[in-house]
Amino acid sequence: MADRLEKIFNLRGSFMKLISEKVSGAYPEWPVNLQDKRSQKALREITFRSVEELFEALLHLKNWKDHRASKDQFDREEYLEEMIDAFNYFLAILVLTGVDADEFFEAYNRKHEIIVDRLSEIKS
């Protein structure tokens, strides 16, 4: 079985190709030129869509006020669906910029090491 992260990237790329065939202008051709103004505008728009989806997920967190007793039930399935929507837009940004699962994984690990090292500098 293929690596799960690679599979997620492939699924997103396949969806982006499919929607681009059916909906003109759904996505620019990729990988985009990050120096190009239109490409940057497209990436900003997709980023805003991701933030909208994160906000929709946030709206499912209703029991956060200290001064209010809440009887609202948390719907994990709906929350997760909104988080996946946001993640899909995030993945689309990576696909559009030519980042693949391997590059992402390597960059993630590098950054992880940096933040772990920062913690070692903090005195308890």
The string of pLDDT tens digits covering residues 35-66 is: 999 999 999 999 999 999 999 999 999 888 88
Least confident of 36-50, 55-69, 76-90, 92-106: 55-69
Per-residue model confidence (pLDDT) at position 2: 57
Write the DSSP symbol of residue 67: T
Q: Where are the domains of the chain?
A: 4-63+72-120
**Nearest C-alpha neighbor of 30 from the set 86, 88, 84, 100:** 100
Per-residue model confidence (pLDDT) at position 13: 98
| Cβ–Cβ < 8 Å for 86, 57 | yes
| Cβ–Cβ < 8 Å for 52, 45 | no
Rounded Cα–Cα distance for residues 53 and 51 (Å): 5
